[in-house]
Structure 1
Amino acid sequence: MIRSQSSGRSAAPAFLALACVGFVATAPAAQAGDLEPAADASKEAAPAEGESDQDHVVVTGARNEQAGPKATAKVVDTPRSVVVLPKDVIEQTGSVTLADALRTVPGITFGAAEGGNPVGDRPFIRGFDSQGSTFVDGVRDIGAQSRETFAVEQVQVVRGSDSTLGGRGSAGGSINIITKLPVQGDFVRATASLGTDDYKRATIDLNQDLGSTIGLRIAAMYHDQDFAGREAIWAKRWGVAPSLTLGLGTDTRLTLGYYYLQTEELPDSGIPYLYTIGNAPGTGEIYSEPAMGDYTAANGVSGRVDRDTFYGLKSRDFRDTTTHQATLRVEHDFGGVTLRNSARYSFNSQAYIFTQPDDQQGNVYNTGQVWRRANTRYGYAEALSNQTDLYGVFNTGSIKHSFAVGAELSWEKARRGTYAVNAGSATARCNTLGLSRFNCTSAFSANPNDPWVNYANDTVGSPQTPITKNAHSAETQNDAHTVSVYGFDTITLLPQLLLNVGLRFDRFTSKVTPGLAAGAATTFSLERTDELFNWQAGLVFKPTRTTSLYASYATSATPPNSLLGEGQEGNSLGTTNTPAAVALLDSLKVEKSKSYEVGAKAALFDNQLSLSLAAFQTDTDNARVTGPNNTVEFIGTRRIRGIEFNANGNVTPWLNLFGGYSHLDPVITDGGFTALTAAATGLQPARAVLVPSVNTGRQAPQTARDSFTLWATVKPTTGLSIGGGAFYMSRVFGGYADNRTATQNAAGVVTVNPATKVLVRSVPDYWRFDARIGYAINDRIDLSVNVQNLTNKTYYPQAFTAHYAAIAPGRSAFATLGIKF
């Protein structure tokens, strides 16, 4: 539906009215031999003095599987692929961001900011964009962000269609970040790190038993660094996460928490691709990779693009973010059943001017030049979620049930605008004026210190003008609210046979209010409601108590406007109120996926080592593409097949492993059509002809066919630990283009000229190696040294659909002093 309304920022009284309602955090999963969800983390004792968490890795027990009330069985008895990334691995690998941590999990790649997608974490799981399927303590964490690890206890990755568990989206899986909350006992853990490239980091994790069942925990962090092998780039941030639990260790508990993170950085603009479809030399399939190293442009200009080449501008580029999360959780145990009422209020703001090198006009190869396009954005996303869960166990005769039922309400709002920046887009961009104003630069000798200033327009003699935000009335706002109910049950049919089922219903309503158009007195809103039903079912056979074989089926549903403009929307509501837009709004469809999976799991060595193997297929329908009549249709399909192997835990008391291997066959089975225009001839007008998309039958972008990760830690003697990591990623594709054309004769007969070349934008495969050595001087003091990218490998962790690829830092090292008391 469409309705008109005045433009402007809307108030949110509902947010304030509900801000005192309880909040969500997760409860631990079951112990290895039990089906019941385990007691809450607040009832667990801290490690005894002198003990390390790694000495007590319990890969399928309550200690390290805080999977939440919806997890009705321990991981070994859950019929789907689940990876638990523990805090020990996060710390040992030197992972200070979520992106750092997830690179240790096979099968996850990262996409770049593109197509209106804001800068932030954009993980792809099993070939699907999971930016909107990231959760913190079981609650959806909306808004584009670059997340930190200082307050993270562990990260859980659930793979496969996952809307039953998390709601909308989650076609390839979801990511759940478990945060640090109070536990029983007293401890303080502080670290200070110094390293190359001005690396500085300090953290503290304090847990204090205040008596009378009151627990306090405070995690805090300060971080400042440059980046190895990259000129000019830096990042600085600080954060704090206090939490308080009343009734710690009792049947009735109340937990209050707050999380704050502030970041500042000069964002990295990466390296542009060398070719476009118009200038790629040769015929056939041509790979366009980042323009790194020596090359000669078509006009004869030669040079070298070094690894540290940075095309951004210190005088213009920046990125600032702020995150607030306020939490409140109330829960009570009724014997074997727990009732939890939870709520979260979150506010994330982001502002940036980010240089996107290249404009796909051929400058990089034709003339050896790069246009410095200014991608700009400012805005915020806020949400209030309230969740009530009832979970526990009961018996019906000889059949045992481990169940969870619940309901969720959420209100979400995202508002965004842009800065008034003139980067010369109205001119030839790399003409004399563009070069003189530093809107364009040499591909070989870019200078981030160029004295760029903003001009009012693209004419000679135009005045300089400050960078300002565009009018408030020009900002776009997205609103949404969701009502959900769900239920899960793990049914023990026989001691060796378990049935896992889950159902979820979501009513998702979203609305977009575009910015006020020039000359208009009022704006308008486009609104749509979708009702989503998802389910999952799996059968588990247990040959032994600590092994299982399983088969499962699960669905997911991604409705239009699912990301509220805070990610790349392949199926948006639109921003116009023309008759065609109204008709399209009514015809939009929910993109649906279904996953089939079989696998085997084992918890070995007294639950010290977890092994899993899975084979799967995920099919997606209703993707939004161009149809054969040159209109939007929902006929696009994808198919992802693959196998995954994962290992996590202690092989021996002196050897710990974390990692695995993933092989995917990600295919766009139907990419729709592409319109070609046959130019007018004589009396014949120009005509459009539809041809199958170049994407059809090709490997899905942003997805590696093969990936391997391994982090190993050896303890040869008391106090000494030696760690090493090996990480492999096969070639990742950004996008495809071909040079098919259409012509017509005087009679109006249209001929499609077949492609002579297909351009494949991609980044090559790579191996990366890390190393660490640590020594515990005594029970309270330890030292460690991490070396990342040991071989100084030049590689690209993100492939843009067009324009550029992100480049990874070079070799770096840092030493860390840890103190606990």
Structure 2
Amino acid sequence: MRRPGTVSRRAAVPAFLALSCVGAFVTAPAMAKDGADAAPADEAALAQRRDDDILVEGERIRQDASPKDVAPIIDTPKSIVLLDKSVIEQTGSANLQDALRTVPGITFGAAEGGNPIGDRPFIRGFDSQGSLYVDGVRDLASQTREVFAIESIQIVRGSDSTLGGRGSAGGTINILSKTPQPGNFGSVNASYGNGDYKRVTGDLNVQISDTVAARIQGLWHDQNVVDRDAIWSKRWGFAPSITIGLGTPTRLTASYYYLESHELPDSGMPFLYTIANAPGTGNIFTTPALGNVITAGGQTGYVARSNFYGLVDRDFRDSTTNQAMLRVEHDFGNVTLRNTARYSHSEQSYNFLLPDDSQGNVFGTAAINPAPATPGGLRGDILTGGYVWRRGNTRYGYSESIVDQTDLSGTFKTGGMEHSFAVGTEFSWEKTRRGALVSANGSTVSPRCNTATIARYYCTSLFNPNPYDPWVNYSSDTSAVQTPIVRGAPNTETQNDAQTQAIYGFDSITITPALILNLGARYDRFKSTVTLPFTAGTSALRLSRTDKLFNWQAGLVLKPTKETSLYASYATAATPPNTLLGEGREDNALPTTSSAVNLAILDALKVQKTKTYEVGAKGSLFGDKLALGLAVFQTDIDNARVQIDATTVGFLGKTRIRGVELTANGTILPGWTIFGGYTYLDPKIIDAGFAALTAPANGPAAAKIVYVPSVNTGKQVPQTAKNSFTLSTNYQATKRFSFGGGAYYMDRQIGGYADNRAATQTTTGVVTVSSATKVLTRGVPSYWRFDAQARYKLTDNVEIAVNAQNLTNKTYFSQTYTSHYAAIAPGRTVFGTVSLKF
């Protein structure tokens, strides 16, 4: 018998959260008592007990089932992690990237266009930027997501297009929003810390009547970044919602979400070497320039972690996100019909610094500069290194979508077997439009750094950059006419439109109590159209294609006991051309110019296919308080797009990622909770296709392009870490005092590869390709990060907390790009929080 006041932690144990057979988006999770006046569950709900209900102070609150909720997670043949709001709060996470860093096996990629510093998580080595969902609906827009309105985050690992549609090669991430609940409760949290860290969040739930409740969350955030010069970010937002029909067979929920962000974006540090100036031979690993550096010209200096190479007078990133959702559902006995409609509109504009090393200006290309009488000497070319080109990547644009999903779900019996099923349809309309800001940054000058470009602050010192240089914009790199930064003309913009029609179905079949078969299938018709930039006075050209996608998965679950399961599964994913609609880096994009070559490429494009094989085990210990998981898997891409020659693409590329995942979540001793795990990946590029080399002209022989096997073949997949470990823990030492912390390990990550093979030709046109004498790998080293936190309840409604992130003040890199730069993490950040619940 449960003692009054005792809380079952089953809400935090993923094994008893019902998810679908493919990872299941629980779009309206039940919620434990949030405030002092939270209402108990009603008698009718208590009468409908299920294994996945949540016990709160002796009362049972029923999970609000998702339409695709066809099996409890312990009976789901897939690796799934539920990141609860309690872990987000305890770790002091303020955005989605902060929160996801507590999950093993997730890394983050950087970019130079699209969404360069926004959310770009990699799951099992695959870019999952296009596989982010909010309440089960795809959220494609380029942005940096907040956590103030998040109830929990679900990470499904493995090929997952059966659930969400296109993409999802490595898995999916679903953000679950806070929604109205029975009862009256609220909270306000105010934080302040070093780096001028200031943050205020609020959450208020009001039960208006027996069947109507409303809820609203709010946020205000303002901070600098510890140990980073000049960097700052500000944002604010709110998220109201209302539910009519609580506790009745017919329910309607309407919600809205708004977030506005402004920041000075930080791209971190440039890499030290390029393939042209890297010293030595053989395999060379280069990291970003940091600490003591000696340039090619012999200059010695120190690159501090605080160095910022951008310009306060030029760089910015502004974004807004608007989302409105309407959900209607009705119960017909054991069957529920639900319709969800969501409208999203997001805007983004930035002038994003990229500390560029592309012409060797960081380390240098020569021991001395050109002689004064030479053309280079007259320009004042700097070849000896020690300078960073402040390359400004610009974009403005928006993304817009309307998505409508209808689901029918329930249970029935046939032939002595129990079925838990879900069938549904999805219709979506998506549009993105983007252009570039007109801004001169020295991109037409070669080499990049000389007397003129330094005078215009296009280049700055590697060792002593000044973010407050009085930079002004000119109409061109050589013009003396000053001009404001403006948007490009409408005819220079690119627009992408997409339409999706899909039908899907899932079934969890209990053949016997010890044997369960999970099945799922989905068919999508995806049409994508790109409207290309055009010359003023002419008509725009549109390129379009339609792809038909079929994905499926099957899994068998063996249950030795009610609390344990063994499983084996197979699942597929499909990534059609133009999946991201220009909102990120895309290996299989539609052409963006109207040349005859690109038109031929358009016809040759195919859908990239991914498949995952997985076996695993799950179990619950200590009376359902601790959930353990083990998964062993292999994910293959067999027909990735590669360039065969200048006019031909092929689909012969192959990538293979094998791995092992261990997870542990819940209570290991009374009052002691943990969240985390370990992931090992063996990520290998089996076949990367070809790379182009140019054989310069030689007498009568014109320059030729030849294709050689890509340097990437046989290498580790970029943006992945072979080993990663996370552990977040909290111990309730007394009734009022708790403490804990986190330990996070990330193995070395690779940005990209290059080699120095070269092509030459004779006067008769005979081409010779020289072998590589060195292969350059850009990447960032492994690191350990440690956090600490402590909390004390002054009263039942007032709590104070202290969080210390990066406790040892470790210098490490959190993201890396294929070339040019890697993002550096903040230094030790300590902040206190006062929380008031009512």
TM norm. shorter chain > 0.5: yes
Q: 2 CA distance for matches of 1:532 and 1:424? A: 45
**C-alpha contact 1:192 1:818 (8 A) present in aligned 2:** yes
**C-alpha contact 1:29 1:66 (8 A) present in aligned 2:** no
Report deviation, 1:789: 0.2
TM-score scaled by structure 1? 0.93
Q: 1 CA distance for matches of 2:470 and 2:696? A: 44
SS class of match (1:817):
strand
Partner of 1:231: 229
* 1:77 alignment partner, one of 75, 78, 91: 75
2:174 maps to a residue whose letter is N
Q: 1 CA distance for matches of 2:782 and 2:18? A: 42
Report deviation, 1:71: 2.9
Distance 1:682 1:463, change over 3 A: closer
**C-alpha contact 1:536 1:553 (8 A) present in aligned 2:** yes
Report deviation, 1:683: 4.0
**C-alpha contact 2:105 2:124 (8 A) present in aligned 1:** yes
**C-alpha contact 1:319 1:350 (8 A) present in aligned 2:** yes
Distance 1:41 1:558, change over 3 A: closer
* 1:693 alignment partner, one of 703, 710, 719: 710
1:455 maps to a residue whose letter is Y
SS class of match (1:69):
coil
User: Is structure 2 residue 148 aligned with structure 1 residue 144?
Assistant: no
Report deviation, 1:486: 0.1
Partner of 2:363: 365
User: Is structure 2 residue 480 aligned with structure 1 residue 462?
Assistant: yes
Q: 1 CA distance for matches of 2:669 and 2:425? A: 43
Partner of 2:421: 403
For residues 48-59 of structure 1, the aligned pairs below 5 Å read: 49=36
For residues 57-456 of structure 1, the aligned pairs below 5 Å read: 68-114=66-112, 116-366=114-364, 367-428=385-446, 429-456=448-475
Distance 1:40 1:636, change over 3 A: closer
1:711 maps to a residue whose letter is S
**C-alpha contact 2:109 2:719 (8 A) present in aligned 1:** yes
Report deviation, 1:784: 0.5
Task: Using the TM superposition, name which of 755-764 and 735-744 deviates more.
Answer: 735-744
* 2:726 alignment partner, one of 691, 697, 709: 709
User: Is structure 2 residue 517 aligned with structure 1 residue 530?
Assistant: no
**CA-atom RMSD, angstroms?**
2.3
**C-alpha contact 1:701 1:733 (8 A) present in aligned 2:** yes
Report deviation, 1:746: 4.8
**Matched-pair identity in %:** 59
Partner of 2:5: none
Distance 1:43 1:741, change over 3 A: closer
Report deviation, 1:52: 14
Report deviation, 1:468: 0.6
Distance 1:109 1:60, change over 3 A: farther
Report deviation, 1:579: 2.5
Report deviation, 1:717: 1.5
**Gap regions ≥5 residues in structure 1:** 1-27
SS class of match (1:91):
helix
For residues 760-775 of structure 1, the aligned pairs below 5 Å read: 760-775=777-792
**C-alpha contact 2:750 2:779 (8 A) present in aligned 1:** yes
2:710 maps to a residue whose letter is S
Distance 1:343 1:34, change over 3 A: closer
Report deviation, 1:40: 8.7
Partner of 1:22: none
Report deviation, 1:653: 2.3
Report deviation, 1:440: 0.4
**C-alpha contact 1:399 1:491 (8 A) present in aligned 2:** yes
Task: Using the TM superposition, name which of 750-759 and 398-407 deviates more.
Answer: 750-759
Q: 1 CA distance for matches of 2:115 and 2:261? A: 19
Report deviation, 1:787: 0.3
**C-alpha contact 1:30 1:38 (8 A) present in aligned 2:** no
For residues 789-804 of structure 1, the aligned pairs below 5 Å read: 789-804=806-821
Q: 2 CA distance for matches of 1:214 and 1:728? A: 46
Q: Deviations over 1:132-187 (max 9, x none)?
A: 00000000001111000000000000000000000000000000000000011111
SS class of match (2:544):
strand
User: Is structure 2 residue 653 aligned with structure 1 residue 605?
Assistant: no
Q: 2 CA distance for matches of 1:50 and 1:209? A: 11
SS class of match (2:454):
helix
Report deviation, 1:777: 1.6
* 2:757 alignment partner, one of 740, 748, 754: 740
Report deviation, 1:679: 2.9
Report deviation, 1:60: 6.1
Q: 2 CA distance for matches of 1:398 and 1:624? A: 47
SS class of match (1:582):
helix
1:594 maps to a residue whose letter is K
SS class of match (2:673):
strand
Report deviation, 1:190: 1.1
**C-alpha contact 1:325 1:345 (8 A) present in aligned 2:** yes
**C-alpha contact 1:413 1:477 (8 A) present in aligned 2:** yes
SS class of match (1:386):
strand
Q: 1 CA distance for matches of 2:688 and 2:322? A: 40
Distance 1:234 1:60, change over 3 A: farther
Q: 2 CA distance for matches of 1:438 and 1:38? A: 50
SS class of match (2:363):
helix
1:344 maps to a residue whose letter is R
Q: Deviations over 1:21-65 (max 9, x none)?
A: xxxxxxx99957999999995876735739999xxxx99656798
Report deviation, 1:522: 1.2
Q: 2 CA distance for matches of 1:394 and 1:85? A: 32
Corresponding residue pairs, total: 788
Report deviation, 1:278: 0.3
Distance 1:539 1:602, change over 3 A: same
* 2:697 alignment partner, one of 680, 698, 719: 680
* 1:503 alignment partner, one of 517, 521, 544: 521
SS class of match (2:803):
strand
* 1:46 alignment partner, one of 15, 22, 33: 33
Report deviation, 1:628: 6.5
**Gap regions ≥5 residues in structure 2:** 1-12, 41-49, 55-60, 365-384
Q: 1 CA distance for matches of 2:243 and 2:402? A: 21
Report deviation, 1:651: 1.3
Task: Using the TM superposition, name which of 485-494 and 208-217 deviates more.
Answer: 208-217
Q: 1 CA distance for matches of 2:553 and 2:818? A: 33
Q: 1 CA distance for matches of 2:193 and 2:275? A: 43
Report deviation, 1:681: 3.3
Report deviation, 1:654: 1.2
Q: 2 CA distance for matches of 1:377 and 1:358? A: 18
Q: 2 CA distance for matches of 1:115 and 1:260? A: 24
Distance 1:245 1:233, change over 3 A: same
Report deviation, 1:630: 6.8
SS class of match (1:797):
strand
Q: 2 CA distance for matches of 1:734 and 1:161? A: 23
1:552 maps to a residue whose letter is S
Q: 2 CA distance for matches of 1:238 and 1:636? A: 44
Distance 1:442 1:373, change over 3 A: same
1:188 maps to a residue whose letter is G
SS class of match (2:600):
helix
Distance 1:32 1:546, change over 3 A: farther
Distance 1:628 1:462, change over 3 A: closer
User: Is structure 2 residue 824 aligned with structure 1 residue 807?
Assistant: yes
Task: Using the TM superposition, name which of 179-188 and 750-759 deviates more.
Answer: 750-759
Distance 1:605 1:268, change over 3 A: same
Q: 1 CA distance for matches of 2:743 and 2:16? A: 31
Distance 1:580 1:203, change over 3 A: same
